[in-house]
Structure 1
């Protein structure tokens, strides 16, 4: 065996062990409401394109009312970088922008500027509708500042995972939140929901009860209530083995939007759990781009094509 071959084999083994160790650490972290472990691991993998913090700021007095705007290293292309806004999950009781910089790294690798938007958590008064008001304010802050950093701001894509997916889906389907901060719905090119709650009343989890149980009209907390034909296009991505936010949430929302004539695509990942769909946006757990590829295809042309799903969205609930 040549020295080069031994080196390659050793490198492969080390990378494999790192990925396995990282997966275990990430599962441990997810159980405790933290993505910082995955971000730490992701930061140690090489990237084709680096990123830089172009702007950061706050839109309120609470720590989580913040935005980080990351752009690819180097000069912006003519017309600017396309812009995505990512909102993290955590059951509305945990999470922060710094722990999800791996999403910005991956999108920077693919030519996107990314704003990581925070919002008040339950412990800081983040009960319905505060998380929607804050997310809308974060979108407005991004649109006000991203142009000076070289990003395109005529339209923006929204992406969220879990509780963050709920936030961006509600902003997409119920115009009052963005219009309340002076952002017309036409500024939203499309929205990606990663394992997002969409039809989950009666509330059965402590997270939902704590964050949404105070609402006088529970129906007004449910994205499915606002399914309509005129909303921006949505991409719903969900693992069939998700035991935190059941896949039926995305199935039911997709069916409701299709019935109304809305623009929706649904993709299910057989055997994937709740964390897997956002892990797919990290370097160590990209799984040959099974999550990233369709997400990028949607971002490049949100309105293209008819609704499509890897399995029928009307499949019986699990």
Structure 2
């Protein structure tokens, strides 16, 4: 079956989410949805600079969410978050709820924009994400974080980006970095094994049919992979969780890598990340699972 189904179009995603609630439906409908959710997220749990440049392109901007509560100076974990959007859309401001959720739990969050298709292909946006990670690693200490506790996390297309940085050394090598600089990585509802490509937007982003097998995260499963947390919805109608999340987890485990995986009921593709927001946390324990993994604690039972 296709990994990116017709349900990945913006209109069908809106239709599919109407039963979950107006907040989620508004979230995926665009700017107004982000404003709805933004009004429900506190502003007093974090501080930090916004619109920070990490590279030469106008899209090379990021926002930082530092915990407002006391943390041990220089020891806070740091997470770079990469959003999804079929590699064709997305703005960091729409994911303030992610930054707030992490900062409120003592984690420094960095939410980065990156260039999108059709302006660049997959090598372009992966290069951007590598630059954002370089910035995060080099500024972790000055932000009050521990450079040895930096992770990368993504949702949907952003989880693909995170996986490639963590598993395929080609993207960090030009920056004199290697994946072992990461304390771990987290993928939410990510596509990790999606050839052949049927979605026209994704075909363009990945130059189909000239897409190499090594464009797929599952191709790079290896014993030296950073600690991995994979979360997905059992009934995800956009990205097949069995093929992608379960498949990558099995391949990493077979290679001898450390992997935690959780598959949740009662959520879908979009709500795998939206459940991080305070109004929607009742849907699934996404946040406590992520926080426990980042802290190196035992994950909550599902």
Structure 1 residue 25: Cα displacement: 4.1
Higher mean C-alpha deviation, range 213-222 or range 275-284: 213-222
Task: Note if contact 1:128-1:214 (Cα within 8 Å) is conserved in structure 2.
Answer: no
1:157, distance to aligned residue in structure 2 (A): 1.2
The structure having more radius of gyration, on CA atoms, is 1
Say whether residues 1:285 and 2:264 are aligned partners. no
**Aligned position for 2:52:** 57
Deviation at 1:81, TM superposition (A): 2.2
Which runs of 5 or more structure 2 residues have no equivalent in the other structure?
1-17
Q: Alignment partner for residue 201 of structure 2, among 197, 207, 210?
A: 207
The corresponding residue for 1:23 is 21
TM-score if structure 1 supplies the norm length?
0.81
Alignment of 1:5-154 (within 5 A): 23-30=21-28, 32=29, 34=30, 37-38=33-34, 40-46=36-42, 50-54=45-49, 56-73=51-68, 76-123=71-118, 125-154=119-148
Q: Distance in 1 between matches of 2:218 and 2:142?
A: 36
TM-score scaled by structure 2?
0.85
Identify which range, 235-244 or 49-58, moves more after superposition: 49-58
- Aligned pairs, how many? 284
Aligned equivalents of 2:189 and 2:31: distance in 1?
Answer: 15
> 1-side partners of 2:279 and 2:142: how far apart?
32
RMSD (Å), alpha carbons: 2.6
Q: Post-superposition shift, 1:278?
A: 0.3
What's the offset of the Cα at 1:133?
0.6
Q: CA deviation at 1:139?
A: 0.6
Q: Answer yes or no: is the 8 Å Cα contact 1:65–1:118 preserved in 2.
A: yes
Secondary structure at the aligned position of 1:152 is classed as strand
SS of the aligned residue for 2:142 comes to: helix
Identify which range, 21-30 or 200-209, moves more after superposition: 21-30
Establish whether residue 164 from structure 1 lines up as the match of residue 158 from structure 2.
yes
C-alpha spacing 1:38/1:241, structure 2 compared with 1 (3 Å): farther
Which shows bigger deviation, 268-277 or 219-228? 268-277
Structure 1: unaligned runs, 5 residues or longer: 1-19, 311-318
Determine if contact 1:156/1:188 at 8 Å carries over to the other structure.
Answer: yes
In structure 1, what is the equivalent of residue 235 of structure 2? 241
CA distance, structure 2, for counterparts of residue 254 and residue 301 of structure 1: 19
The answer to whether the Cα contact below 8 Å between 1:160 and 1:193 also exists between their aligned partners in 2 is yes
List, as ranges, runs of 4+ consecutive aligned residues in structure 1 with deviation greater than 6 Å. Answer: none
Go from structure 1 to structure 2 and tell me whether the alpha carbon gap of 1:36 and 1:139 turns closer, same or farther (over 3 Å shift).
farther
